[in-house]
C-alpha cells in the first residue's frame, strides 16, 4: 500500500509540473505567437521566460510530491527529480541544433534542482531543517 501511495505522490508532482507547463506554454503561444513558433529563431527573452516558468513549475511539483509523500518527503522529491532529469535530457537531445547549447544545458539542469528545492521547502515548512 505504501508503494502505491509513494507512486501517487510522485505522480501528483509530475502532473503538477506538466499541467502548469502546458498552461504556461499555451499562454505564451497565445500572447507571443511570433516568438514561440517552431521555425522562429531563438529569442533570449523567451528562453529566459521558459527557464523561469520551468523553475516555478518544478518547485511546485517537488512541493506537491513532498506534501503528499508518506515517509521521507525528500526521497520522494528526489525520485521525481530523477524522472524530470531524464525527461529534460531526452528533450534537450531532441532539440539539439534547434536551440543554443547553453539553453539546452540550463533547461536540463534547472528543473530537477528546482524539484529538490520544492521538497526542501516542504521540509522547512514541516519544521525539519537540513
Q: Where are the beta strands (DSSP E) in 23-128?
A: none
Phi and psi at 99, nearest 5°, equal: -130, 155
Tell me: the pLDDT tens digits for 74-105? 999 999 999 999 999 999 999 888 889 999 99
**Residue 61 confidence class, pLDDT cut points 50, 70, 90:** very high
Query: What is the C-alpha to C-alpha distance for residues 96 and 38, in angstroms, rounded to an integer?
Result: 13
pLDDT in tens, 39-48: 777 788 889 9
What is the C-alpha to C-alpha distance for residues 117 and 63, in angstroms, rounded to an integer? 8
- Residue 46 to residues 29, 37, 80, Cα–Cα distance (Å): 11, 11, 26
Please tell me whether residue 103 adopts helix, strand or coil conformation: helix
CB atoms within 10 A of CB 12: 17
The reported pTM is: 0.90
Domain boundaries defined on the chain? 2-125
Amino acid at each position: 500500500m505504501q508503494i502505491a501511495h509513494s507512486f501517487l505522490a510522485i505522480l501528483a508532482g509530475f502532473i503538477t509540473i506538466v499541467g502548469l507547463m502546458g498552461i504556461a506554454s499555451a499562454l505564451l503561444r497565445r500572447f507571443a505567437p511570433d516568438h514561440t513558433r517552431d521555425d522562429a529563431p531563438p529569442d533570449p527573452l523567451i528562453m529566459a521566460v521558459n527557464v523561469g516558468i520551468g523553475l516555478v513549475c518544478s518547485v511546485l511539483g517537488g512541493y506537491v510530491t513532498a506534501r503528499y509523500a508518506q515517509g521521507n518527503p525528500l526521497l520522494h522529491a528526489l525520485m521525481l527529480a530523477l524522472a524530470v532529469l531524464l525527461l529534460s535530457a531526452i528533450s534537450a537531445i531532441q532539440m539539439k541544433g534547434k536551440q543554443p547549447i547553453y539553453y539546452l544545458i540550463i533547461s536540463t539542469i534547472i528543473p530537477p534542482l528546482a524539484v529538490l528545492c520544492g521538497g526542501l521547502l516542504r521540509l522547512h515548512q514541516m519544521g525539519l531543517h537540513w
